[in-house]
Every structure is written in structure tokens, then in C-alpha cells.
Amino acid sequence: MLAACNFAKAGNIVLGGGISQFTKAPNGNWYQADYPYTIDPRSGSATLRYDFDNDVSLGYVYTGKSSVQSIVKADEIAWVNKTPYPLSHLYGEGKSEGVFLSTRTEGNLYLTYGAMLYRSTWDVTIPDYTMPDVPSFSASLHHRPTWELMPMGGIGYRSGKNSVELNLLPV
């Protein structure tokens, strides 16, 4: 995920906002390219961090959300083999957030690197889960994984109290 952020600094507290671009999942994960689907991989993002005097930062980042709306064959074997099977509607939405500890190199053009404890969640609703010879029913799935520790990094440019950063975050 890439996040481009504009930062306005007031003291040691930094607020940032930007845009996240999530990678599209492969065909067969939440959509099937044979059928209509819409994926929204872009989202607003926000950062709140505290910068210590030694260019070390501690912060929270909401990296955003992505969503999908698709029509799918609920049976993967039927989809792969292209055999007849009833279609269902799938609505999915996920978000990602984390806390981080990072540092920056000196100078106007700088590198930032550190570690991020993050979690991405995903919710899916299929209001018309359809199978042969079974009445249609509603199904919901919720993915709530454990928090993971991953490296993070980026590049930035600062001029006075303002900076622009491009960060690669592990979401």
C-alpha cells in the first residue's frame, strides 16, 4: 500500500492526510472476472504522530479501506470448471490501521524507516447465498486477524514546518 501524505506540523504533534492505493486481489478472491464486479482500492488515509527531538516518531496511522461488489458462483469448483451454478451477490469491505515507531534521516530530502504493528480486517456479506437445491440464505463473514509487526519505510521532503512523504506500509 502506498500512502502520500501532506503534513502540517504544530510543535511536536504531526497531523497527516493522504491517499492510499491498495493492491487488487487476484481473480477468484472476492470477485470472479467472468462476472460483473466493482473494486474500490483507493481511500483517504490519516496519521497522528508525535515527533521527538531526535527525529524519532511514535504514531497511529489509518491507512484506509477498500471494498468490492461482485456477482460470483459461490462454489469455487463450479466456477473453475465453468459448470452451471446459481450466482450470488458479494459485498466486501476491509480497513487497515496500525501504530508505528520510526526515525528519519537528516536533511530536506530524507528517508523514514521503522516498525509498524498493524491489522487489516475484512467483512463480507452475501445476502443471497445460492446453492443448487437449497433455499437462498444470507451469509456474513468477518476476518479479524491478530496484530502483526512489520517493517515500514518511505521517502520525504521537508521545507520548514511542512513535508510531503511517500510511505510503503505493510498492509
**Mean pLDDT of all residues belonging to the chain:** 88
94-149, pLDDT tens digit by residue?
999 999 999 999 999 999 999 999 999 999 999 999 888 888 899 999 999 999 99
40-52, pLDDT tens digit by residue?
989 999 999 998 8
How open is the CA angle 30-39-15, to the nearest 5 degrees? 115
pTM of the model: 0.76
* Cα–Cα distance for residue pair 78/80, rounded to 1 Å: 6
Which of the pair, 162 or 123, is modelled with greater confidence?
123
Q: How far is CA 62 from the centre of its chain?
A: 9
Residue 79, phi then psi, degrees to nearest 5? -65, -50
Buried b (16+ CB within 10 A) or exposed e, 56-95: ebebebbbbbbbbbbebbbbeeebeeeeebebbebebebb
